[in-house]
Amino acid sequence: MDPPKRGIVPPSSFLPVAEDIGLIGPIGDWALRAACQDAASWPDPLTVAVNVSARQLDDGQHFISQVAAALRDSNLPTRRLELEITEATLTRRPDEARILLRDLHELGVRIAMDDFGTGHASLQQLRTFPFDTIKIDRSFIHSLDSNNESGAVVRSIAALGAGLGMTVIAEGVETVTQSRMVEADGCVEIQGPLVGKAVPASGIDDVLARDMSAVFAG
């Protein structure tokens, strides 16, 4: 959001307010539709990841219908949409969430556990939920070079994900050193300022052109 007086307002500021006043559902539905429409113009096989709130999961069948409609109206292949669910969201109503995520997974949509390591998800939940991706919370990545325990956590999660056939992504990677450390620990993908900062949808074409130029130049 970019109001004229306050400038860009980060999600961490306005999402809690949207939760409190009951607007997170409509905002989430809009974000889902917009993300699918934008991603449909990107070259295959690029995917788009959309965060899902607890309120959206609580809506159950309504949310499934919103996902199906967003994919249908945008003509985005289901395999190119990934829905990100936080640990805290899962622990609220785990049985209902498990059924809902399985239904979404059967549509062909990918499911990711976001911010892993900060909530209270059990290994049983990780095994029984239809996750394709685990995203290690940035707090562990930031302290990698100063805290041996963080490295042990990253290695453990990476090994666990690999054993369960899941992609493991390190979030919040800011430096080349962090990138090398998480790669050595077993993470197959990274996310964060080192590989790219957030840009509006209108700037995606420039990002893709830059990245493709780097590939061919290499």
Ranges of each domain in the chain: 23-217
More confident residue, 112 or 216: 112
Q: What is the C-alpha separation between 56 and 96, in angstroms, rounded?
A: 12
Q: What is the per-residue pLDDT across 113-153, written as a single tens digit (0 to 9) for each?
A: 998 887 666 677 788 899 999 999 999 999 998 888 999 99
Q: What is the per-residue pLDDT across 99-114, written as a single tens digit (0 to 9) for each?
A: 999 999 999 999 999 9
- Phi and psi at 93, nearest 5°, equal -140, 75
Q: Which residue has the tokens 């990107």?
A: 42
Neighbours of 71 (CB within 10 A): 21
Tell which CATH classification among 3.20.20.70, 3.40.50.10140, 3.90.1300.10, 3.20.20.450 matches the domain 23-217. Answer: 3.20.20.450
What pTM value is reported for the model?
Answer: 0.89
